[in-house]
Amino acid sequence: MKLDDLYSELTIRTGAKLVLLVLDGLGDVATPDQGGRTPLEAAQTPNLDRLARESALGRMIPVAPGITPGSGPGHLALFGYDPVEYQVGRGVIEALGLGVDLQPGDVCARANFATLDANGIVTDRRAGRIPTEVCERLCARLQERIHQLEDTRVIIRPGKEHRFVVVFRGPGLEGPLTDADPNREGLPIPEAAPRDPANPRQQKMARLIRAFYQAALPVLAGEKPANGFLMRGIAHQPHIPLFQDRYQLRAAALAVYPMYKGLAQLVGMTKLEGPQNVREQFERYLAEYDNFDFFFIHHKATDKAGEDGNFEAKKRAIEEVDAALPVLLQKKPDVLAITGDHSTPCAMRGHSWHPQPVLLHSRYSGTDGAQRFTEAEANRGSLGIFEARFLIRLMQANARMFDKFGA
> Are 266 and 377 part of one and the same domain?
yes
Q: How far apart are CA 182 and CA 211, in angstroms?
A: 19
> Are 113 and 250 part of one and the same domain?
no
DSSP 84: T
- What's the burial of 42, exposed, middle or buried (CB within 10 Å: 0-12/13-18/19+)? buried
- Contact criterion met (CB below 8 Å) for 354 and 343: yes
Of 164, 157, 196, the closest CA to residue 178 belongs to 196
| Domain assignment of residue 2, yes or no | no
pLDDT above 90 (res 31) = no
- What is the span of the domain harbouring residue 379? 12-87+240-398
Q: What is the 3-state secondary structure (H, E, C) of 90-145?
A: HHHHHHHHCCCCCCCCCEEEEEEEEEECCCCEEEECCCCCCCHHHHHHHHHHHHHH
pLDDT above 90 (res 104) = no
pLDDT above 90 (res 139) = yes
250: confidence class by pLDDT, cuts 50, 70, 90: very high
Predicted local confidence at residue 198, as pLDDT: 96
Of 396, 398, 364, 352, the closest CA to residue 59 belongs to 352
> Are 318 and 373 part of one and the same domain?
yes
Question: pLDDT tens across 383-396, in order?
Answer: 999 999 999 999 99
Number of domains within the chain: 2
pLDDT above 90 (res 255) = yes
Residues 6+ apart with CB under 8 A from 138: 113, 158, 164, 220, 223, 226
Kindly state the average pLDDT of the residues 78-85: 94
User: Any idea how long the chain is?
Assistant: 407
Question: pLDDT tens across 218-233, in order?
Answer: 999 989 999 999 999 9
Share the mean pLDDT of the chain.
Answer: 94
> Are 100 and 189 part of one and the same domain?
yes
Residues 6+ apart with CB under 8 A from 239: none
Predicted local confidence at residue 353, as pLDDT: 97
Of 200, 216, 236, which closes a domain? 236
Of 236, 254, 276, which closes a domain? 236
- Contact criterion met (CB below 8 Å) for 78 and 346: no
Kindly state the average pLDDT of the residues 273-292: 97
pTM (two decimals) = 0.79
Predicted local confidence at residue 263, as pLDDT: 86
1: confidence class by pLDDT, cuts 50, 70, 90: confident
> Are 325 and 371 part of one and the same domain?
yes
Of 385, 367, 337, 366, the closest CA to residue 59 belongs to 385
> Are 206 and 317 part of one and the same domain?
no
Cα 68-239-264 angle, rounded to 5 deg: 60
- Judged by average pLDDT, the poorest of 33-42, 46-55, 84-93, 184-193 is 84-93
- Judged by average pLDDT, the poorest of 25-34, 86-95, 288-297 is 86-95
Kindly state the average pLDDT of the residues 269-284: 96
Kindly state the average pLDDT of the residues 110-124: 95
Q: How far apart are CA 220 and CA 272, in angstroms?
A: 35
Question: pLDDT tens across 120-130, in order?
Answer: 999 999 999 99
Predicted local confidence at residue 86, as pLDDT: 86
> Are 249 and 173 part of one and the same domain?
no
328: confidence class by pLDDT, cuts 50, 70, 90: very high
Distances (CA, A) of 404 to 11, 221, 245, 395, 407: 10, 64, 20, 16, 8
87: confidence class by pLDDT, cuts 50, 70, 90: confident
Rounded to the nearest angstrom, the gap between the alpha carbon of residue 74 and the centroid of all alpha carbons in its chain is 6
Percent of the chain with pLDDT strictly greater than 70: 100
Question: pLDDT tens across 173-188, in order?
Answer: 998 999 999 989 999 9
Number of Cβ within 10 Å of residue 325's Cβ equals: 21
Q: Which segments of 249-300 does DSSP mark as H helices, in order?
A: 258-266, 278-288
341: confidence class by pLDDT, cuts 50, 70, 90: very high
90: confidence class by pLDDT, cuts 50, 70, 90: confident
| Domain assignment of residue 292, yes or no | yes
Of 176, 201, 236, which closes a domain? 236
| Domain assignment of residue 116, yes or no | yes
Sign of CA pseudo-dihedral 64, 69, 71, 72? negative
- Rounded (10°) angle between helices 258-266 and 90-97: 100
| Domain assignment of residue 175, yes or no | yes
> Are 209 and 330 part of one and the same domain?
no
pLDDT above 90 (res 33) = no
> Are 60 and 132 part of one and the same domain?
no
| Domain assignment of residue 60, yes or no | yes
CATH code of the domain containing 303: 3.40.720.10
